[in-house]
A and B are shown apart, each in its own frame.
Chain A
């Protein structure tokens, strides 16, 4: 490489250093502006840059999903919506957009029916944000502690009675929401769900390219990862069918 070619490169590197680092909030504002101007692929890159700098928020993932959808990449949109849903399951806009994106993809998989109780459970689980839920569990915990202290310190029988009733009530609530929180944390941190990113992928009956075909999936389908052998992932789809596909075809939510 000649000096003439190196010099501009050096200059660029120096210049890059000179530019003061922008805060993630500023970057987000710029990306939102790009989206509003209709520059969806650019907005998508900008949102992606914020993510790769290590910051995230459900809103950021939601916006990235929108940008992906608008720039024509529905599987990526679904992936980001699903990621956002992990953090903010109750959001109405998010649910709506995810539903629309799921309509556009090729596969229409009928989920196996489940007991209605689980829908209620999900409703409770997803009612609060994760921080809100954590805070609530903390407050209930503090209330239990305060009521215990009051019970210890109360001098009269009536006061003790009130303390023990309020304390056991808040203890029951605390334990319930603790279970909810643990389940929710399990949802947030689970890594066994993925979205098919390839336009089309043939699911095999065994982890082998020469194996017989089980079924075909198209981009955007959510799958559950059950097992992994070499470069192959064993997946289950919503209607219960199971097969193997190349791990590169999917991306973990």
Chain B
């Protein structure tokens, strides 16, 4: 019993393990080679995933294909001899976009806690149909039927333009089959263009047209106006259209099948694609006007102001309208040169574009709001607008007339706007100016300052004179103090001469007796003596009181005076002394000789005592 239980458990475990190990994920296509217009199916099959099934299916990159339908999920379960096998199939219908050999990469799925990967699948896409001649599946039959009978063609009216010139692009569908409906799968790429859809009738009208001997019905799907915004070789990408095409199944020999067949055929999804178009764009001629901003076409401009007279702070509306054909939408606002102190806001732009007809036309209006801040006659300079005219192959410059505005003083005064003012500014603004100064003094003729008045300039000299006087006085005083001996020395000869002159006068003066009177003689000798004493005193710098003949003689000999001169001086002095005590003994000739002697001695001494 125990043994049986263990065996049972083991069996269950092993089978469970086997079940998990057997889970497989496979990818497959229904055929390895397809035609470019054909559809094929791609399947991912998950087998033995257990009860949980698969989840989180990750598809590989299918960018080279259109997914026409899918995923369609189907599952099956089989029990054969007690063994359970289950499978889940994910089914896609694809149509190739391009011709070539492609590898569909691995898809992943999670099952039973394990991520499973499918093997990559290779598929080859060949031009045309692979099974055109083989009667086969219905799908292939339909693709073969549509084949060359459904075309999408893109045409342009010009392939060589200048930058900004309009190119008309038309997508036409050529069909020999009946199309139930269509939808744009992918719009054409238009790098380097500004495209404007041109209105087309809602209901497509078809016209018969013969291409390569085949009769087609042709309808316009889409019409566009393109404006290249850059020079160079530009390309308009292909447009893809998904169509539902009514197909008739081929007559079958099987009567039952033909009986059950839909008499109106059935609908097949089919993608039709146009070719890319190359357009060569020339750059605009060099040296455009300064105000050229890319407008190409034929334009006219008008400017209007709502009023010619206004008040300060009342706005004026200036409208600049550019109208014509060309790339209207790309026109930028022309610069309006305003007088200073006008406030200007960014213009309000409105456009009105007419999209019908062969050429895009319309108008663009720029509305400028101007606010004059100060009164006066203001002139708005002419507004200019330049465009390139591709027909004339030249730049054209439009110029509006000059606008004159009369601005009157408005009622409201301009209140100063405090922006970014400091707190101090705000505080000050609430204050008034201070009151006037009522003092009446201080009025003086203009330009009159203290420093320019005559009195002041005169006063400037006063301290200078004061200091100068002090300097002179001090100098003199110092000289006296320092140079007394020299002063006496310089003074000596003058004093001596003066004494001698006095003596000469006494000598010459005749008394009533015809000869000098005795007191006169006495005075004569006195004068001679005094002159000599003073001279010697000054010259030898001996104070008068300490003077004696011996002292003078000693000083003279010290100064190396000649001995005979000293002797005659001594004799003269003694004569003078003697004459003062016995005046009568001396007559006029002696007096004369004494005088001459004194003069001679002084002159000689002057020579020595310099």
Contacts and interface: CB of A to CB of B under 8 A. Distances in A.
B442 A138 contact: no
Interface stretch (A11-19, A55-63, A114-122): A55-63
B443 A57 contact: yes
B505 interface: no
B547 interface: no
B471 A135 contact: no
Contacts of A54: 445-446
A106 interface: yes
Contacts of B444: 55-57
A185 interface: yes
Task: Give the interface centre of B341, B421, B428, B443 by most chain A CB atoms within 10 Å.
Answer: B443
Interface string B103-146: 00000000000000000000000000000000000000000000
A93 interface: yes
A100 interface: yes
The 4 closest A-B pairs by CB, nearest first: A145-B463, A149-B470, A57-B442, A63-B436
Interface string B259-294: 000000000000000000000000000000000000
A33 to B, nearest CB: 10
Contact of B442 (A59, A99, A142, A152): A59
Interface in B438-472: 438-446, 449-451, 456, 459-460, 462-464, 466-467, 469-471
Nearest to B436: A63
A185 B439 contact: no
Nearest to A96: B434
B157 interface: no
Contact of A100 (B433, B441, B442): B433
A59 B437 contact: yes
Interface in A158-190: 181, 185, 188
A149 B466 contact: yes
Given A29-B440, A56-B446, A62-B436, A99 B470 contact: no
Contacts of B474: 152-153
Nearest to A106: B416
Given A35-B436, A63-B437, A103 B414 contact: no
Task: Give the interface centre of B419, B431, B449, B463 by most chain A CB atoms within 10 Å.
Answer: B463
A149 B431 contact: no
A135 B438 contact: no
B449 A200 contact: no
Given A55-B445, A131-B450, A100 B428 contact: yes
27 contacts: A24-B443, A32-B436, A32-B438, A32-B440, A35-B436, A54-B445, A55-B443, A56-B445, A56-B446, A57-B442, A93-B437, A100-B429, A100-B433, A103-B416, A103-B429, A104-B416, A105-B416, A106-B414, A130-B451, A142-B463, A145-B463, A145-B467, A146-B463, A149-B471, A150-B470, A152-B467, A216-B341
Given A55-B445, A66-B436, A138-B460, A185 B374 contact: no
A105 B417 CA distance: 10
A55 B441 CA distance: 12
A63 B374 CA distance: 29
Contact of A101 (B433, B438, B463, B471): B433
A71 interface: no
Given A93-B437, A141-B463, A146-B463, A55 B416 contact: no
A186 B349 CA distance: 58
Contact of A138 (B419, B431, B456): B456
A103 B416 CA distance: 8
Contacts of A29: 440
Contacts of B469: 149
Interface string A203-230: 0000000000100101000000000000
Given A25-B440, A153-B473, A200-B374, A134 B446 contact: no
A69 B433 contact: yes
User: How large, as a class, is the contact surface on chain A?
Assistant: 35 or more
Interface of B: 340-341, 374, 414, 416, 419-421, 425, 428-429, 431-446, 449-451, 456, 459-460, 462-464, 466-467, 469-471, 473-474
B446 A55 contact: yes
A135 B453 CA distance: 12
Nearest to B416: A104
A191 interface: no
Given A32-B438, A54-B445, A93-B437, A152 B470 contact: yes
A66 B441 CA distance: 18
Contacts of A49: none
A134 B456 contact: yes
A101 B416 CA distance: 11
Contacts of A50: 443
Given A59-B442, A146-B466, A200-B341, A141 B460 contact: yes
B374 A135 contact: no
Nearest to A33: B438
A130 B435 CA distance: 23
Contacts of A135: 450
A21 to B, nearest CB: 14
Given A60-B443, A96-B434, 8 more contacts: A57-B444, A59-B442, A106-B414, A134-B450, A138-B459, A146-B467, A149-B467, A153-B474
Contacts of A130: 449-451
A252 interface: no
A148 interface: yes
Contacts of B442: 57-59
Contact of A213 (B340, B456, B473): B340
Nearest to A67: B436
A248 interface: no
Contact of A66 (B433, B471, B473): B433
B101 to A, nearest CB: 69
A50 B474 CA distance: 54
Contact of A134 (B433, B437, B451): B451
A99 B428 contact: yes
Nearest to A139: B463
Contacts of A63: 436-437
Task: Give the interface centre of A54, A104, A152 by most chain B CB atoms within 10 Å.
Answer: A152
Contacts of B434: 66, 93, 96-97
Contacts of B431: 100
Contacts of B449: 130-131, 134, 188
Nearest to A70: B433
A144 to B, nearest CB: 8
B167 to A, nearest CB: 41
B526 to A, nearest CB: 42
Contacts of B416: 103-106
A104 B433 CA distance: 11
A200 B340 contact: yes
Contacts of A32: 436, 438, 440
